[in-house]
């Protein structure tokens, strides 16, 4: 999905598959198998893009899709499962791209820069799902959703830690494990801070703002 020669923030050109693009509304027809499920997730993600959105109800979601609530429950057993569908999409998108970056880029510093840039650009391009990543959209929802999103973030930090250890070893650090833990923790703080600022400002302050300069400072 991305070239190892690309700029750090150009790794998400295909991070938003057609499965979650805006559904067509010009022609009403019976959805193909699996299509309605995708439409439900599309609508949920779109509703989350409203910066001042209150807790989304299944009634509001059904109204947006012009179906009954019962129709939603034919595809998802609960609203929590709908959010799990979004989290699954986030996980698949981010880790597919992150693993590709690590596999194709031998320089650990560039690995770190490109992974951070990719995640920030994904959040910028998918504001509704950015609210899921930072946990804002999961407030007052089932606690297992926040736990699953936190596990995904822990996986991301672990991936960054591996790259940071390689970087610390290449620089002759006396304690590369400690350096890797500190570096990955700092990277996640920067990453989540920028995504949270994006949602907090109503998607005005983009997470990729001054990204190259930030990454240079982070990796100095």
pLDDT in tens, 180-213: 999 999 999 999 999 999 999 999 999 999 999 9
Q: Where are the domains of the chain?
A: 80-219
Segment 105-135, tens digit of pLDDT = 999 999 999 999 999 999 999 999 999 999 9
CA distances from 192 to 103, 113, 121, 134, 185 (A): 24, 15, 12, 7, 11
Residue 3: its pLDDT value, please? 38
Pick 80-219's CATH classification: 3.40.50.10860, 3.40.50.300, 2.40.70.10, 1.10.357.10: 1.10.357.10
Residue 7: its pLDDT value, please? 46
The more confident residue out of 39 and 6 is 39
Residue 11: its pLDDT value, please? 57
pTM of the model: 0.84
CA distances from 98 to 49, 106, 191 (A): 24, 13, 14
> Do the beta carbons of residue 11 and residue 1 sit within 8 Å?
yes
Token couple for 173: 């650090």
The more confident residue out of 53 and 35 is 35
Residue showing tokens 């998400």: 12
- pLDDT confidence of 5, banded at 50, 70, 90? very low
């Amino acid at each position: 999905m991305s070239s190892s020669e690309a700029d750090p923030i150009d790794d998400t050109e295909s991070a938003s598959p057609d499965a979650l693009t805006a559904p067509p509304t010009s022609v009403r027809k019976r959805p193909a198998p699996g299509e309605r499920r995708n439409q439900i997730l599309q609508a949920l993600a779109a509703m989350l893009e409203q910066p001042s959105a209150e807790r989304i109800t299944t009634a509001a979601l059904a109204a947006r899709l012009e179906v009954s609530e019962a129709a939603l429950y034919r595809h998802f057993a609960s609203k929590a499962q709908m959010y799990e569908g979004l989290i699954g999409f986030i996980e698949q998108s981010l880790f597919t791209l992150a693993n590709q970056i690590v596999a194709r880029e031998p320089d650990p510093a560039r690995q770190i820069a490109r992974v951070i840039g990719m995640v920030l650009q994904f959040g910028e391009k998918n504001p509704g799902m950015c609210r899921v990543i930072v946990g804002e959209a999961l407030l007052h929802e089932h606690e297992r959703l926040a736990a699953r999103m936190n596990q995904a973030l822990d996986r991301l930090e672990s991936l960054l830690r591996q790259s940071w250890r390689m970087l610390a070893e290449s620089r002759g650090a006396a304690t590369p494990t400690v350096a890797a833990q500190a570096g990955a923790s700092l990277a996640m703080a920067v990453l989540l801070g920028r995504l949270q600022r994006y949602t907090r400002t109503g998607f005005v302050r983009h997470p990729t703002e001054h990204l190259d300069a930030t990454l240079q400072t982070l990796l100095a």
